[in-house]
Amino acid sequence: MDVASRDERGTTERVLTLLGLLQRRRVWTGPELAERLGVTPRTVRRDVERLRALGYPVQATQGVGGGYQLGPGQDLPPLLFDDEEAIATAVSLLAGAGGAVVGAGDAALRALTKLDRVLPTRLRHEVRALSGSVESFGGGTAPVDPVVLMTLARACRDEVEADFDYPSGGEVRRRRVEPYRLVASDRRWYLLAYDLERDDWRSFRVDRMTTLSARTWRFRPRAAPDAATYVQEGVSSRVYPHQARFLVHASADTVRAQIPASAAVVRSRGSGRCEVLSGAASLDFVLMHVLLLGHEFDVLDPPELGKRCRALAERLLSAGATFSPVPDPAES
């Protein structure tokens, strides 16, 4: 390594050390930083300018109580963590990804996947041990082992096959897949993957997986369907023996606020109308759910649902015609 390269490396290490100091304490004076770094105050000023050029908003104030401090900026620059901070951050993200933090699962897993790229091996064992002590309660979220989520996230990122035991048709079978995306619903985590045994796309509930392992065999990515749309359609309709489509005379935003995303797919069909795709164990059940939305609607599919509408209408009319109020004994 020549002199210029050594000088450049030394400057880089010093600037990173300066960044770590600024993130550790609110305000540092110039002389304090110079003493910590073993340089002159002039060099500190130059290193501060280097950080500013990289997007770190380092502020400088004069007078008593003044000095250098890291302020808020428009963009979020990279952060430096020591070992304890990295472990605490990873464990918190594991808790969020596992469902302990409502609504934070997807973002927590994305952040955890980024952190996993740079987390030293010596810290991963501590993170796994500590994650076992994190639990949550309340809500309707199905509990998921965050280590399983992390393993699947790595497999998606690194494009390697995965296999796991999964219940199907009353028995548990080994599934070998090419994992593509993890999708968080309002209650559960799902994996969109290409099933190598069935030669087709499938979605899997993560909380039902057992004995998961990521393989070393890499795969070439295929043209994949939109993960969120595929999983939502599967959860809300394909898993049921009956599927139905309705044209509802209300805006898509209005209907989405009434129906959980896991219960139906809602697509806008112009001003004041939307299409609702849902499934159920019986056509009467899905019909009643759409009826209780309180909007006018038309049946699009299947044809036999029209017959069920008429049968249900006749049943309701009959019940209304034979209704007779029962006297309240307290009033007699």
Nearest to 246 by CA among 282, 315, 281, 295: 295
Enter the tokens of residue 287.
């019909």
Residue 169 to residue 239: CA distance in whole angstroms:
12
**pLDDT under 50: residue ranges of the chain:** 1, 3, 100-102, 132-140
pLDDT at 24: 78
pLDDT at 138: 40
Query: Which H helix or E strand runs over 126?
Result: helix 121-131
pLDDT at 129: 57
Residue 54 to residue 22: CA distance in whole angstroms:
15
Residue 232 to residue 226: CA distance in whole angstroms:
10
Residue 210 to residue 213: CA distance in whole angstroms:
9
Neighbours of 78 (CB within 10 A): 9
Give pLDDT tens digits for 130-169.
Answer: 554 444 434 445 667 777 877 888 888 888 999 999 998 8
Contacts of 133 (CB under 8 A, 6+ apart): none
Q: What is the DSSP letter of 331?
A: G
Q: What is the DSSP letter of 206?
A: G
Do residues 164 and 172 make contact, with C-beta atoms less than 8 angstroms apart? no
Residue 106 to residue 208: CA distance in whole angstroms:
19
pLDDT at 12: 81
pLDDT at 199: 93
Question: How high does pLDDT run on average in the chain?
Answer: 81
